[in-house]
Amino acid sequence: MLDTLLSLGHGLDVALAPTNLLFIFMGVCLGQIIGALPGIGPSAGMALLLPITFGIPPATAIMMLAGIMYGGMYGGTLTSVLVNVPGEAASVMTAVDGNQLARQGRAGAALSVSAIGSFLAGIGAVLALAFVAPALAEFALRFSSPEYFLLAALGITATASIGAGSPLKALLMAVLGLVIALVGTDPILGSARLTFGTSELLDGIDFLPVAIGLFGIAEVLNSLERSFDTNPMRTRLKDMWLSAKDWADCRMAILRGGLVGFFVGLMPGAGPTVAAILAYVTEKRFSRHPERFGSGALDGVAASESANNSAAHGALIPMLALGIPGSASTAVLLAALVMQGIRPGPALMTEQPDLVWGLVASMFIGNVFLLVLNLPLAPLFAALLRIPYEYLAPGILVISLIGAFATSLSLFSVGLTLFFGMIGYLMIKADLPRPPLVLAVVLAQLMESSLRQSLMLSEGSLMIFFERPLSALLFLLVLASLALPAINAFMRVRRERHHHNSSQFTFTAK
């Protein structure tokens, strides 16, 4: 404990050097911008900036790159809330509720609560990283394919309860999402599946074109039907910030989201995106008003945004303690270390104390920078929505399509995005929920490959899902998640029938 504090003090010393402060600031600002641009996520942004880190000392370079990583988590919120296009993958849940809030004139509140939640969860995750990283890394290794499968299954089954509509429709859309995810290369056999001979489809349908199309483009298409005399969204200054009541509603959401995000982030097979989804569905279970989820729940936004930031920090634990990447972004960080001549591995924390503790300390500083940047800017950005929608819509289209192009630098993704925009429009018309479809596309790959890996590991025995203590626990959670909506529905029917019967009874008694 005392050792840790001493090391942390030393790390602060390193991080507070003026050059390092400057690079941390640059990193978080770049992260904020990269996160806000749909299409390029933090990992791509970090990789693009890798070459400029060659000349600078390793600790400084890593601090800056890490700044981009978690800065991206803050930045992604912006586009999700304002224009309903996820700025980066991990903000996909924010697009669902955040944009609904924006339509209700509460964009400022959504952005503020995201910034505060990200900050608190980020700081909590860094503290855990500083004090218990080695133990947590060992824990993370106990997660393997069977646990990942159950985790993904938990996410998919929980989609049934997302949105105010019928659970059956939601599950159907989730299945459609799974079908879309079948396109591509079979993860185990390596053979092409449903690609119709096109090499563009060999790597499958990335979920960003799906999300950008279903959320961003579909909304724009749908808005074309509305008449042009609609008033711009009225946002009064007093709605821009969080009220005391909002804060009371979101406190626990931030805590729960941060915890879920941290543990999911810790696991090398999952990442901030899965973390945000699981935090969102968890929050719905605990929320006092679950019916608001999908139509503008501030605590849903708070939970998923806290989760993605703490997951981004949590992913550093297996990287620093064991030298294995926990996410796409930490893989780039590892590459940066290797290029600096540092070999990441179990001995990194003792061999490179300046670097490791400097990085840990820099994350405290970077998160403070981001909070200070984002809080005053929240109302400012929210004010963008005062622009009438007919002027905003072309801008949304442009941002969406550039984002789609940036995912693979090919026009094919742009076409795919437009295609899913059309599908999304039809789904709005048919009153089908869109989030379950997107979630299934995100989770399907993890679910399929880990299921098949599990069965290969166990040489075909299904017992692998119950024998391991962690998977047994997760299995129970999946069962509960499937049973709950059914039990709820059953109880409702019973209550209604009971009510019906008793009223009939009184009638006949007369």
Partner 1 sequence: MNKAASSITRRLVVLGFASVSAVHILGYGQGFAQGKAPEGPIEITSGTSPGGTPDVLMRRAAKILNEEKIITNPLVVQNRTGGSWMNAANWVLNKKGDPNTVLTIAQPIITTPITQGLPTVYDKLTPISMFIQGDLVLAVRPDSPAKDLKGLIDLAKQRERSIKVGGSQAGSTDHMVTGLLEKAGGVKFNYIPFDGGGAAQTAFLGGNVDMIVLTPSEILPLMQSNKARPLAVLSEERRTEPEFKDLPTAKEQGLDVVWGQSWGLAGPPDTDPAVVKFWNDAIQKLVATDAWKSAVNEMFLRSKVVPASQAKEHMAKMHQEHLAVLKDIGMAKTQ
Q: What are phi and psi of 185, to 5 degrees?
A: -95, 130
Residue 80 or residue 352: which is nearer to partner 1 going by CB? 352
User: Least distance (Å) from partner 1 to the CB of residue 8?
Assistant: 23
3-state secondary structure of 327: coil
* Single-letter amino acid, residue 144: S
User: Least distance (Å) from partner 1 to the CB of residue 211?
Assistant: 17
Residue 264 or residue 382: which is nearer to partner 1 going by CB? 264
User: CB within 8 A of 455, min separation 6: which ones?
Assistant: 461, 462, 464
How many other CB atoms are found less than 10 A from the CB of residue 323? 17
Residue 21 or residue 339: which is nearer to partner 1 going by CB? 339
User: CB within 8 A of 7, min separation 6: which ones?
Assistant: 353, 357
Rounded CA-CA distance 484/487 in Å is 5
Residue 200 or residue 390: which is nearer to partner 1 going by CB? 200
User: Least distance (Å) from partner 1 to the CB of residue 445?
Assistant: 8
Q: DSSP labels for 80-143?
A: HHHHSS-SSGGGHHHHHHHHHHHHTT-HHHHHHHHHHHHHHHHHHHHHHHHHHHHHHHHHHHT-
Residue 35 or residue 257: which is nearer to partner 1 going by CB? 35
Residue 295 or residue 445: which is nearer to partner 1 going by CB? 445
Q: Using alpha carbons only, what angle is made at residue 416 by residues 175 and 277, rounded to the nearest 5 degrees? A: 45
Helix or strand (DSSP H, E) at 346: none
User: CB within 8 A of 138, min separation 6: which ones?
Assistant: none
Residue 142 or residue 495: which is nearer to partner 1 going by CB? 142
User: Least distance (Å) from partner 1 to the CB of residue 502?
Assistant: 57
Residue 138 or residue 291: which is nearer to partner 1 going by CB? 138
Contact (Cβ atoms closer than 8 angstroms) between residue 194 and residue 180: no
Which residues contribute to the site for partner 1 (CB under 8 A)?
43-44, 46-48, 50-51, 54, 141-145, 185-192, 199-203, 268-269, 318, 322-325, 328, 331-332, 334-335, 338-339, 341, 343-348, 408-410, 445, 449, 453, 456-457, 459
Q: DSSP labels for 171-195?
A: HHHHHHHHHHHHSEE-TTT--EES-
User: Least distance (Å) from partner 1 to the CB of residue 322?
Assistant: 6
User: Least distance (Å) from partner 1 to the CB of residue 232?
Assistant: 39
User: Least distance (Å) from partner 1 to the CB of residue 367?
Assistant: 24
User: Least distance (Å) from partner 1 to the CB of residue 334?
Assistant: 8
